[in-house]
Chains A and B, each alone.
Chain A
Amino acid sequence: MSPGLHTKPAVVKAASSLLTDMQGASSSLTYAALLTDDGFDVARLPGETDGTRFAGMASSMQALGDAVTHELKIGSSEYIIIASGKGHVVQLRVPGQELVLSALFDNDATVGHALAVTRTFAQKMAELLP
């Protein structure tokens, strides 16, 4: 259990910095957020936006994804994609942590690229934490 990651300044700083790197790695990244499993906003990009509502929603989606895979008995949810006319939201867990990385890419990026970038940075986040 990793209580209150959103309250730890070192974690918040590392998370913000990671999102900035992520932006550097993909020009089609429009919005990204790191949030706790129970819906608290840890960091987001752009930094000035209010991430509270999105963090709640993303955690609900993550939990619903798990509920669906549990219901269908297909193991655990690996990633969630929401496709829209203006872009894709890709979302997955940071391995070994009670954190979720959720990112919006515009349609210049393929879904494959969006997924690869998100996976890479989720893994990097995992490596930043003890």
Chain B
Amino acid sequence: MTIDGNYVAGEPAPQQPGSFPVTVGWTQAAIAISSVMVLKTPVNLKMNIEMHGPLLIDFGRHAFSWSTPLEHFPLDAVHTGLETIPGGPDAPPMFELPGHDLDGLLWQIGLNSFDGAPAFWLSSGERYRLTRWPNLTQHSHDMRQVKMIAVLGNAYVSTPELATYSGVEVGEAQRLVNALSLMRILSRSAEAPAVPMAPETAATKRQSLFGRLRTRLGR
């Protein structure tokens, strides 16, 4: 990662906790989070965000605290600083527990970082498969995302394959892959072969119960 916050795809994550360069937006926040989550020494994060209260993340307790509710997640937030704080079971909590489920935050950050490009910790040529569904009743989502999640739940697919099978743009598929990967519920494989899907002909599209029920329920 360069000093001014630009990421370079393929660079390894920092190995030691310490001070990070001043972050700029959610992309840099996602990089910081993904780096910290793989450290052997438990570390928590405090992010200072312009015009919002500090965002506190306790990875050990899988929780966060923020005065801004996720329903009003600011897509273009400007981060002004980031601190690492020692974590671990003996470390005193940074905020009143239980806080909020970290998955909700990771979902939003994952969807809104990297601007539709692959997250820096992912490699090209990979296929992905879900290891666990996100708790959809708790995360604001749309039916296109549900469809993509259903594809990922049942086959190893690359991002372009996911986009094709779900009928969405690659950028939209990539955002979802980034989010699920940040939530650590996505398995990555370089060797998994392509999985054929019954081709979605125009006729099949008309026959999809999911599509018809969505329409009926106004979604």
In their complex, do chains A and B touch, with some C-beta pair under 8 Å? no
Where the two chains meet, the residues of B that have a C-beta atom closer than 8 Å to any C-beta of A are none
